[in-house]
Every structure is written in structure tokens, then in C-alpha cells.
Structure 1
Amino acid sequence: MIAIRPRSILSVALVCLLALGVSGCGLSAELDREGNPERKPTPTQTLTVEIPTRAANPSPSGIPTHSPSVPVQEEQGCPPSGLRFRADAGDAAMGLRAMGLDVTNCGDRRYTLNGYPSVTVLDESGDPFPGVRTVQGTDEVSMAPEDPGPRQVTLDPGETAHAALYWRMHNQDGVYLRVAPEKGDDTVTVRPPNPLDIGPENILGTTAWQPSA
């Protein structure tokens, strides 16, 4: 057998190509030994990948968040009118929707109510919800309880009166309520805990103010 003593990597490569093909010989290892005789570790490159972060959902419940462009009643303190309004979370049964509306005398003098609240449903932009008609009483809202009727209610400081709102379920939501003690009085805007699924071309019936139990 004739011993082949290659003088260069080129010779090794030629022998490998003739005998086994490129993939069958240790050509890569020999090239590595030639270029790095001291066997120093080859530095590895670190690949940095920037993973874009997804913005958090501002409203996990799906309910629209309050728009700064819609001025609503302050959460604390007493409004200049001396009256504070509050709408509750509402209730639902057999397609009938109900929501309570309270007014509290937070001022320092007595306030007298005599009739029905003035209520307008607003969309998320603060504009009147199209096609919703507000009526005094509940006769035009199917299956709604009977309206007890208007009476004079005098609130001393700290006392509260209550009214109820009724409507039939629809597939679009009103977000705010523009309310006043009675028609023609100064209004404020409140946001109920839940939207009103009242939709367009619908009727909102209101009961008269009654003393809170």
C-alpha cells in the first residue's frame, strides 16, 4: 500500500473527492484544524429576536370604556344642582329589560319632585340614540309593570327618590343616560354599569318618582 502524505488541505480534498465524495470524508474537520490549530472555541453568535407585544384589551368585558369627550356626572362630591343621579345594573326577564334610576338630594335644602324623570338614551359618542322614544308610564312597553303614577315627593337633604326604566330587548346598546328631575330641568349625563340593549326604533318607558323605601 502506498502511503499518501498530503502536504496541504487541497491534497486531502482531492483524495476525498476521488475516493468517497465530498460528504464522505472529514474535509470539514480538516479545514477546521488547519484554520484553528490550537482548538480554541469558536465564538457563537447570539440571535436577538424582538417579539412584538400585543396591546392589552382596554375593555375585557366588551363594554365600551368611558370617552373623555362625553362629560359625565362627577363620581365624588355634590353637583351644583344639589341632586345626584345613579342608575343601577338593571335586570332582564323574557325579553323585558328594567333599570332603576335614583336621585339623591345631596344639597343643604329641600327639593320637591312632582312627576316623571326626563331621560334620553345616548350612544358611545354622547349623541342621542337614533329612534329611541321615551314615554311617561309603562303602557307602551309590553309586559312592563304598572306605573304607580305621579305624586309630589319632597326630599330632605340626604333623602332619595326612585324611578324605573323599562324597554324591550334589542340588539344594539345605548351607553349613557341624559337625565333631569323633570322635563325642562337642567340635565346631567350618567353612565349605567351596563349598557341598555335598547336598539333603534324602540320605546323607553319611565315610572314616576317615588320615595325610596
Structure 2
Amino acid sequence: MGATRWAVGVVGVVAAVAVLAGCDTPPAPASAPGPTGAARPAGPSRPPADRPPGAAAPGPAAPSAAADEPCPAGGVRVRQGGGDSAMGVRIMSIELVNCSAEPYVLEGHPQIRLLDRKRAPLEAEVLHGSGGIAGGVPNMDRPAERVTLEPGRTAAFGMLWRNLVTDPSVPAAEGWAVEVTPRPGAPVVTAELTHSVDLGNTGRLGISAWSAATR
């Protein structure tokens, strides 16, 4: 999977969130229980020398399509990309691969919907950009741009959220799949997740605009 321009490096995100937690925000509510699936890595790894500045370190291996699997009707596949967490703030990228034989054009923000373990939709407010969830996260609020993907190339968008329990009477929400409509009128494609989008009960998720991968 190609590294993507949208995502901030893991070390940068941790530093930015730490500054916010120390200077701008009141004491946060307790974090919600983390994902109950595969355990997170012991710690973030530094990007290799050939990864572009600001690109996210790869996350845990996500389910991926076999090379001989037919390309979906819409001409693209989506999959979980890299991500990290720090002090209750989470980031994750969702990658889109053009598996068709023609260029694929993206612009603006995708439409997304989170699904729980039983594939029921979660109620969550999807915000364009960081949405006040956390500041100082580069590329989450960058202007949308037109992205033309040649066959085999990759684009991505970022997701940002807080894992907090702000109301003990409201069950914590966890998304284990993301339905993505890449552009208006396109068929929905689904990315299965190895780590959940654990919103707690904040009910808010910020997403960035599409950005082309860099190699």
C-alpha cells in the first residue's frame, strides 16, 4: 500500500495532541474501552527514510483483495490504511485503489458510513475536516483537490475521532467496517477494519478530502 499525503506522521500526531492536551483543553473524560479485536502494536514505528515527510506509518495488516479477485463494478477497491492513537485521539486512513483499466477521478470528500460488528449502521455525525475534534493535525483541513488516478494508483482520505465516554448512559460505539461512496453516483464499496473506529459515545467523526498517494 502506498503512503499517502493526507496523513500526518505518527510522531507528529502524538506531539500535536500532547500540546493540545497540556495547553488548550480541560481534563478529558475517561477514555472508552479500546477495540476488542486485534491488539494494537506496542508503539508507533518511525517512517523509513524513503517515506515522504508527513506520511503516516503503516498500520496493522488489513484485509486486502486477492490479486485475482474481480474488480468491483465501480472500478475501485477500498481498504484500511495506516493510523495511530494518542491520549484518546485516533487517526486512520482509508485507501482507494483504481483496479479498472481507465483513469478514475475523485474530488472533495467521500460519503461514508460506519457499520458495527453486525453490519448495522452506526449513528455518527461525519464532519468535513477536523471538525474541532482535535487541532494541529496537518492535512485534515487541507483544501479539496481534483485527483485523477491512473490504473493501479492509490488515493486516500483520513479519519479523525476521539475515544471518549462523555455520557455513561449511552453505549459506546465501535465501527468495524466503513462503507464508502467515492464520488457522487458511484457504487458503495466497503473496507473491513482490523481495529475499530471506537467513538466512545462522542458520535463525531472528522474526515479529510481525497488526496493522491505519493511514491
Question: In structure 2, which of residues 133, 139, 147 is the aligned counterpart of residue 141 of structure 1?
Answer: 133
Residue 208 of structure 2: aligned partner: 207
**Deviation of 1:182 (Å):** 2.7
> Contact (CA 8 Å) 2:157, 2:210: kept in 1 or not?
yes
Residue 96 of structure 2: aligned partner: 103
SS at match of 1:80: coil
Label 1:97 to 1:183 Cα distance change in 2 as closer, same or farther (>3 A). Answer: farther
What is the distance in 1 between the residues matched to 2:81 and 2:141?
Answer: 19
- 1:12-91 paired onto structure 2 within 5 Å: 62-63=36-37, 75-76=65-66, 77=69, 78-88=71-81, 90-91=83-84
Q: Look at both structures and tell me which one has the larger radius of gyration over its CA atoms.
A: 1
What is the distance in 1 between the residues matched to 2:197 and 2:76?
Answer: 23
What is the distance in 2 between the residues matched to 1:75 and 1:197?
Answer: 24
* Higher RCO (Cα < 8 Å, 6 or more apart): 2
User: Which structure dedicates a bigger proportion of its chain to strand?
Assistant: 2
Residue 181 of structure 1: aligned partner: 182
What is the distance in 2 between the residues matched to 1:169 and 1:74?
Answer: 26
TM-score after normalising by structure 1: 0.61
CA deviations 1:36-86 (Å, max 9, x no partner) are xxxxxxxxxxxxxxxxxxxxxxxxx9429xxxxxxxx98332212110101
What is the distance in 1 between the residues matched to 2:189 and 2:212?
Answer: 21
What is the distance in 1 between the residues matched to 2:189 and 2:100?
Answer: 16
**Deviation of 1:89 (Å):** 5.3
What is the distance in 2 between the residues matched to 1:184 and 1:140?
Answer: 29
Paired residues, number:
144
- 1:117-132 paired onto structure 2 within 5 Å: 117-130=110-123, 132=124
Label 1:88 to 1:193 Cα distance change in 2 as closer, same or farther (>3 A). Answer: farther
Code of the aligned partner of 1:179: V
**Deviation of 1:172 (Å):** 3.7
What is the distance in 2 between the residues matched to 1:144 and 1:163?
Answer: 17
What is the distance in 2 between the residues matched to 1:89 and 1:156?
Answer: 22
Report % sequence identity.
31
What is the distance in 1 between the residues matched to 2:89 and 2:135?
Answer: 7
TM-score after normalising by structure 2: 0.61
Code of the aligned partner of 2:128: Q
Code of the aligned partner of 2:134: S
What is the distance in 2 between the residues matched to 1:74 and 1:88?
Answer: 10
Label 1:74 to 1:164 Cα distance change in 2 as closer, same or farther (>3 A). Answer: closer
SS at match of 2:37: coil
User: Which structure dedicates a bigger proportion of its chain to helix?
Assistant: 1
Establish whether residue 168 from structure 1 lines up as the match of residue 186 from structure 2. no
Runs of 4+ in structure 1 off by over 6 angstroms are: none
